[in-house]
Structure 1
Amino acid sequence: MMRSFIPVPENSDFPIENLPYGVFLPPGASKPRAGTAIGTQVLDLKGLEECGLLGTSVFGGTTLNAFMAAGRPVWSTVRSRLQELLSEENAEFRDNGSLRRSLLFDQHTVQMVLPADIGDYTDFYSSKEHATNVGSLFRDPENALLPNWLHLPVGYHGRASSIVVSGADVKRPKGQSKPVDGVPGFGPSRLLDFELEVGFFTGPATAMGEAVSIDKAADHIFGFVLVN
């Protein structure tokens, strides 16, 4: 079992075995930086890279795009190196007090931002229960799920500009609605739909028209996020 020299609460989602990647603004900073969480701390990956402790050149920007594009061999190497640096048995980072003070931040003092430049995304209609519920709204509940849904993956493009980081304000959309009696009117939506979905960040890129087989999928799935 791996242990870190950084204290990690027993019920933490971010022990040394699970180091998530993100992008954050340190206190007083004007440009975001790549980071990872360990316990209740955020570790500055750009700073580690600039000190030569990672042996990479993928964290110089303000997003994780370059890192995601580097591919699984680099992802695995970086994760192994981070676990090595954070191990209670490794003195490289543990015994460098000035470096630790400059690169470790309490989570509550930083501001998280979108981790990537998102040019496009595909929304998959893949939950049988969700598809059945939606089908019941538009058709007879006895015919809620069309036969081809079980065989034809349904995917469609979403609006990438609508993706915001957790905690951001969401504006109520506007559109037409028709009262029981009267003519349709334009105004804010009276109801909002909340859904819990799993999102995938992928990389490296593929050529247009190139298919990725299921047995190669792990080489392209960088990470997971929760999406509403």
Structure 2
Amino acid sequence: MGGRTSELLQGVLAAHGGLARWKGFERVDASIVTEGLLWGMKGLVQDSEPRRMTVWLREQRASVMPFGGPDRRTAWTPGRIAIETTDGQLVAERTEPRASFSGHGESTPWDPLHRAYFNGYALWSYLTMPFLFTLPGVTAEEIEPWEEGGQRWRRLRVRFPDSVATHCALQDFYFDGDCLLRRHDYQLDVSGGLPAAQYLHDYIEAQGLRMPGKRRAYRRDADNRAVDAQLLVAIDISDLHYT
């Protein structure tokens, strides 16, 4: 890791509350509201009701409730996705769930377990950023800055190993002058490599840690620009609490 990369990454971690503070917690709970075009592309209906998301910080594990019914929740890890009742009774499960997306295109329908897996890994990634950049095997390299909307953002290109479940192996992250994350580029491997540019704003603070309260992911065109008319996923995050 080069000197400028290390300097930028340290600034980013500090701006979001600091790695030492982050390491003092085991879990985060948040309220999420999700909308966007992706669900219809997958043959799904997404309502705008708030759900409670739980993400574990020391392991790749997440759960959201309600899911498909008021008494149901998900149980996600990279190697297994399950839907269960709130008292722990198994409703459905799939082991090695990533393999079930093999051959999928942008409009391939998803079943409830596909949807649950996507929710699990995506929200786990979002609610652990940028601290997951420090996980074993993850590497970050500073690349050329980017100008957009009259702003100049520094960028980190982050490579994730196979052991980390996320959108794709190589992702770009854009940071403003205060080292806050403002844009996140990736390809949606579980949906035929759909290119996305996600914008982050309305930061919120909980127990000294800072996270964006709004995420808006748009289709990304060949010029690395967001297609405003194609809002794939919108996520509003609130009521953060770390334990």
The TM-score range, normalised by the shorter chain, is under 0.3
Q: Which has the higher contact order (CA 8 A, sep 6+)?
A: 2
Compute the TM-score of the two structures, normalised by the length of structure 2.
0.22
Which structure has the bigger radius of gyration?
Answer: 1
Structure richer in helix, relative to its length:
1
Structure richer in strand, relative to its length:
2
Compute the TM-score of the two structures, normalised by the length of structure 1.
0.23
